Chains A and B, each alone.
Chain A
Amino acid sequence: MIQYFSMLLIAIGIYGLLSQRNLVKLVISLNIAEIGVNLFIVSIGYIEDGLVPIISSVNRTSSLVFVDPLPQALVLTSIVIGVGVTALALALIITIGKTKGSIDLTELGSSGGDDE
C-alpha cells in the first residue's frame, strides 16, 4: 500500500516539475518526488512483524524475521544529499532573483540565445 502511495508522490513531484513556472515551486516539486523515493526505499526493507535488527539482552535470538537495516541506512544518506541539493538550489534562486530581478521561468526567458 505504502509503495503505491510513494509512487503517487513521485508522480505528483514530476507533474509539478513539468507544470510549474516558479523556481521555488520547482524545488518543492523536486522535494516531493524525493520524499516519494525515500518512502519507497524504506518500504523495501519493511517486513511484517519484523524485529529491530539488534541483538540485545531483550532480544537474544537471531531469528530471521529482522527488518532489513540496509534501506534505512540508504535513506538516511539520500535524505542528507537531498537537503544539500535543496540548499544549493535555493542559494542559486536567491542569486538569480538578485541579478535577474525575477524567479519566474517565463520572465527569465528560454535563455537559449547568446545574451552575454
Chain B
Amino acid sequence: MNPVMLIAVPLIAAFISSLFAKRSSLLLLFAAFVNSVIAIAVSLSAINGSYSMGGWSPPYGIELVVTDMTRVLVPAVNILAFFAIVVYWRRQDSPGKYSIVYTISLAALNGILLTNDLFNLFVFLEIAGVSAYLLASTGKTGSSKVAAFKYLMIGSVGSILYLLGVVLVYATTGTLNISEIAARISLGQINGDVLLLSSLLFMIGLGVEAKLLPLNGWVPDVFTKSSGPATLVLASIYPLAMISAFIRVLLAVRDERTMGAVLVLGVATVIGGEVVAFGQKRLRRTLAYSSIAQSGLAILLVGVGTAGAIAASVMIIVNNALAKFVLFSVDGLAIEKIGSDDIEKITGFGRTSQVTGLVFTVSALSIAGMPLFMGFRAKLLVISSSFDTGLLIPVIILLAAAIEATYYFRWIFSLYKPPFSRVEPLKERLPLELLTIGIILAAVLVFLGTSSGETLAIFDRAGNFMEEIIFMGKTLIGGM
C-alpha cells in the first residue's frame, strides 16, 4: 500500500465536501475511516524506505518515507482522528460545518508524518497550522477568536523562522531532502556556524507547535476556549505529528550546542507545566498545562538524542495521545452534562457513571506514570535514558513526576468524593460511543503497560529510525 493514499484520500474528500457542504460530515467520517484502514495496512505491510512522488526520484523530487517511527505514529494519528469524530458524532457541538477543516487537517498531519522534504514539511506544517487556527476559533465565545488570533500570530512567526532555517540549509547543502542533509551533516561537510543558526531557527520555528517553553503561551487559552472536538484533535492528535516533525528535523540538523538548548528548554517546559498545572482549579486548564509538561518531556529527550531517548520520546507522545483523548472527552462530557468542570462542580461525577470514572482513572494514572499502565514504562525509559546526561535531569524528571501524580490523584479523588450538595443522578444515558472508545483506549494503555517486552520492541525500533534516514541519504550522495 503506497502511503501517499493517507494524504490523498482526505484531500479528495475535502475537495468533494466543498461542493456538497451538507454532506461534509459524512465525508469526514468516511475519509477518517478509510484512512484508519490504510494506516493499519501501511503500518503492517509497507516496505521501509522511500516512495518517490510524481516520477521524480529522491534528491530532485519530493519523497515520502516509511520508517519504524512512522509505523507507530501513522495508525495512532488516523485511528484517534476517527475516534474523535465518532465520539462527537451525535453530540451538540459535533464538527458539523467545520468538517472540511478536520478533513484537511487529517491530510496535513499525515503529510507531516510521512514527508522527507524540508520545504514540503513547511507546506504541510502551514496547512496543519491554518486548520489548527480555524479549529481553535470554533468555540462559542468571542474569546476563543482572540485565542485563535494569538495562536495564529505566534504560529506564523514560528513558521517564518522555520522557513528561514530551511532556506539557509538549502543554500549550504544544495538540497531539501532530509536524509541527504542528515547524511552530509553526519559526514561533517557543513560549516558548524551555519548549522548552529539553522538548527536554532528550526528549534524556535517548530517549538511553537511543539509547545516549547517561551513559545507555548497560546496553549491554555486555545485548549480551554475551543469547542469539544477541536480541543480533542488539537490536544491529542496534533502533538503526535508536531513532535515527530521536531524530532526528525532537529536530529537531521544535529548540532550539539542546539541540543543543549533543547535539553534546558525541555526541562524548563516540564517544570513550568507541572507547577502551573498543580495550581489549576478547572479540569481542562489542568489538562492543558499537563499537555505542555508532557510535550516538554518528549522534547528534552530529543536533546539527549540517543536511540533509547527517542524511543522513550515516541512512547511518551503515544501515551499522552491515548490518555489525553480519554481525559479531554470525559471533560467535554462533564461540561455538557454539568455545565462546568470546576473542581467543586465536578465532585462526584465519577459516581454518576461507573465506566466514565473508570476510564478517566486509568488514563490519569497512565499519564502520571503509575505501574501497570503504559505511562509507567514510558517514564521508566525516560529516566533510564536521561542518565546519559548526568544525575541532575533524572532527578528533575522524578520531581516533576511526583507533582504530576499528586494533582492527578487529586482530580481522581474529587471525581469519586461524595458531592457537597444533593446527589443528582443523571437521567439521560451517557453516549455509548464515548464509553466504548474510552474502554478500548484504556484497555490499550493497560495492555501496553502489562504485556511482555516484545510488544514494546516496536518502540525500540522506532528510536533507531535516524540510522535508516542517514543510510538512505548516504545512498543518495553515492555511498562513502
Contacts and interface: CB of A to CB of B under 8 A. Distances in A.
Interface in A25-71: 26, 30, 33-34, 37, 40-41, 44, 70-71
A53 to B, nearest CB: 14
A61 B14 CA distance: 45
Interface of chain B: mostly helix, strand, loop or mixed: helix
Interface in B117-175: 119, 122-123, 126, 129-130, 133-134, 137, 141-143, 145-149, 152-153, 156-157, 160, 163-164, 167, 170-171
Given A34-B160, A96-B145, A96-B146, A77 B123 contact: yes
Contacts of B137: 92, 95
A37 B146 contact: no
A44 B146 contact: no
B285 interface: yes
Contacts of A84: 126, 130
Contacts of A92: 133, 137, 145, 148-149, 152
A111 B147 contact: yes
A67 to B, nearest CB: 14
B205 to A, nearest CB: 11
Contacts of B152: 85, 88-89, 92
Interface string A1-35: 00000000010001001000001001000100110
Nearest to B167: A41
Nearest to B164: A37
B184 interface: no
B11 to A, nearest CB: 16
Contacts of B149: 23, 89, 92-93, 96
Interface of B: 119, 122-123, 126, 129-130, 133-134, 137, 141-143, 145-149, 152-153, 156-157, 160, 163-164, 167, 170-171, 176, 220-221, 224-225, 282, 285
Interface of A: 10, 14, 17, 23, 26, 30, 33-34, 37, 40-41, 44, 70-71, 74, 77-78, 81, 84-85, 88-89, 92-93, 95-96, 99-100, 108, 111-112, 114-116
